[in-house]
Amino acid sequence: MKPKVFITRKIPAEALEKIKEVCEVSIWNNEDVPVPRDVLEKEVVEVDALYSMLTDAVDEQLMEKAKNLKVVSNMAVGFNNIDLKVATKRGIKVTNTPGVLSETTADLTFTLMLATSRRLLEASDFLRQGEWKTWSPMLLTGQDVYGATLGIIGMGRIGEAVARRAKGFDMNILYHNRSRKPGTEEELGAQYTDMETLLKESDFICIMTPYTPETHGLIGEKELQLMKKTAILINTARGGIVNEDALYKALKNEDIYAAGLDVFENEPIPTDHQLLKLPNLVALPHIGSASIKTRTTMANLAVENMLQALNGKVPPNLVNTDVM
Ligand code: DGY
């Protein structure tokens, strides 16, 4: 009998075909809305594998219903949507898709650095709204990226990919991480600092750390107050790492210069949210890894992880290694 799989969103055709060759597949084929909780709860009852997205809460209540579940293959590097402890206790393997999205996410991080510092959206709107009357020395002037100081919070694979790009812009790189990275310090000239120094000295502060109970609200009022008035905050990790009310106040009062956010505490952020009224905020709909090539690679890697786990093997990207 073929193992049963539920896929919680439309995925690239080549990834789906690979699963269909060996599994009985049920899929939530709607790209616009996540699978409703009641549908998900029904679907997991019989499945051997769940192919999930970062928007699906795989919690105790869900796993309790999924008596046959052997693997949760998350098509994302982040896995904060899954209760790892419960999965491990129930012998469920959890996998993610690290590495393959680092460069694409670093590209978007840099896009946000450039867009915020050079006021790209403001300038584009200015032109389209017919406000451009003449060239003028101080018109729409912003901040330089070239030669500025970049502070990276969380020097993992994506942080390193951002730092490599920053080197090409002759930036001075500071970083804060749970552990020091001597290789990165040597290769990229990155300097390890405590959090306070990083916040005080950086022109750009990029959040690249995983979202955990420890990093929830890591950037709040106190941290924003430590930043330079000209500082720019970029978040392409997870929304909950930044306190959005504190950020709103800091941007509104011009305590910092701008922010670029690809992620929000609640996604999708409502269009009437106070943050979206600010001219010094560039907001994107969580598209850090959204290139066709990378999303296809992520989908295929999630398939490989899932099939290996179903075959009783150690999948390449097992997160809860103690489950073995
Ligand atoms: C992830 O994979 O966790 C990103 O947030 C989406 O690419």
Q: What is the pLDDT of residues 43-65, one digit of tens each?
A: 999 999 999 999 999 999 999 99
Ligand 1 atom showing the smallest separation from residue 238 Cα:
5
Query: Would you say 77 and 98 are in contact if contact means Cβ atoms under 8 Å apart?
Result: yes
State both tokens at 311: 């075959």
Mean pLDDT, the chain, integer: 98
Give the residue from 4, 42, 11 showing the smallest Cα distance to 26.
Answer: 4
Which of 9, 105, 209 is the pocket-test mutation for ligand 1 (most atoms within 8 Å of CB)? Answer: 105
Does one domain contain both 124 and 253?
yes
This prediction's pTM: 0.97
- pLDDT confidence tier of residue 298, bands split at 50, 70 and 90: very high
How many A from CA of 206 to the centre of ligand 1? 16
Query: pLDDT value at position 188?
Result: 95
How many A from CA of 73 to the centre of ligand 1? 13
Query: pLDDT value at position 245?
Result: 98
Does one domain contain both 245 and 279?
yes
Does one domain contain both 309 and 254?
no
Average pLDDT of 73-88?
A: 98
- pLDDT confidence tier of residue 169, bands split at 50, 70 and 90: very high
- pLDDT confidence tier of residue 84, bands split at 50, 70 and 90: very high
Does one domain contain both 224 and 262?
yes
Number of domains comprising the chain: 2
Q: Whose CA is nearest to atom 3 of ligand 1?
A: 78
Does one domain contain both 245 and 130?
yes
Give the residue from 27, 95, 118, 26 showing the smallest Cα distance to 306.
Answer: 95
Give catalytic residue positions.
238, 267, 286
As a whole-number percent, the residues of the chain with pLDDT over 70 amount to: 100
Query: pLDDT value at position 275?
Result: 98
Query: pLDDT value at position 219?
Result: 98
Query: pLDDT value at position 106?
Result: 98
- pLDDT confidence tier of residue 218, bands split at 50, 70 and 90: very high
Average pLDDT of 80-90?
A: 98
Query: pLDDT value at position 250?
Result: 99
316 cis-preceded (ω within 30 degrees of 0): no
Does one domain contain both 314 and 166?
no
Which of 96, 101, 305 is the pocket-test mutation for ligand 1 (most atoms within 8 Å of CB)? Answer: 101
Does one domain contain both 207 and 255?
yes
Ligand 1 atom showing the smallest separation from residue 79 Cα:
3
Average pLDDT of 293-318?
A: 98
Average pLDDT of 191-204?
A: 98
Domain with residue 169: its CATH number is: 3.40.50.720
Using DSSP's 3-state secondary structure scheme, residue 283 falls into strand
Query: Would you say 172 and 193 are in contact if contact means Cβ atoms under 8 Å apart?
Result: no
CA 101 to chain centre: 10
For residues 55, 87, 105 and 228, what is the CA-based torsion angle, rounded to 10 degrees? Answer: 90
Name all residues whose Cβ lies below 6 A of ligand 1. Answer: 54, 76-78, 101, 288-289
Does one domain contain both 268 and 296?
no
Average pLDDT of 272-292?
A: 98
Task: Please enumerate in sequence order all residues whose Cβ is within 8 A of that of 202, keeping only pairs 6 or more positions apart, or say none.
Answer: 149, 150, 151, 174, 227, 228, 231
Average pLDDT of 197-225?
A: 98
Does one domain contain both 183 and 36?
no
> Residue 214 is part of which domain span?
102-283
Does one domain contain both 165 and 239?
yes
DSSP calls for 251-263 = HHTTSSSEEEES-
Ligand 1 atom showing the smallest separation from residue 236 Cα:
5
How many A from CA of 127 to the centre of ligand 1? 33
Does one domain contain both 240 and 271?
yes
Query: pLDDT value at position 47?
Result: 98
Ligand 1 atom showing the smallest separation from residue 101 Cα:
7
Does one domain contain both 177 and 261?
yes
How many A from CA of 12 to the centre of ligand 1? 16
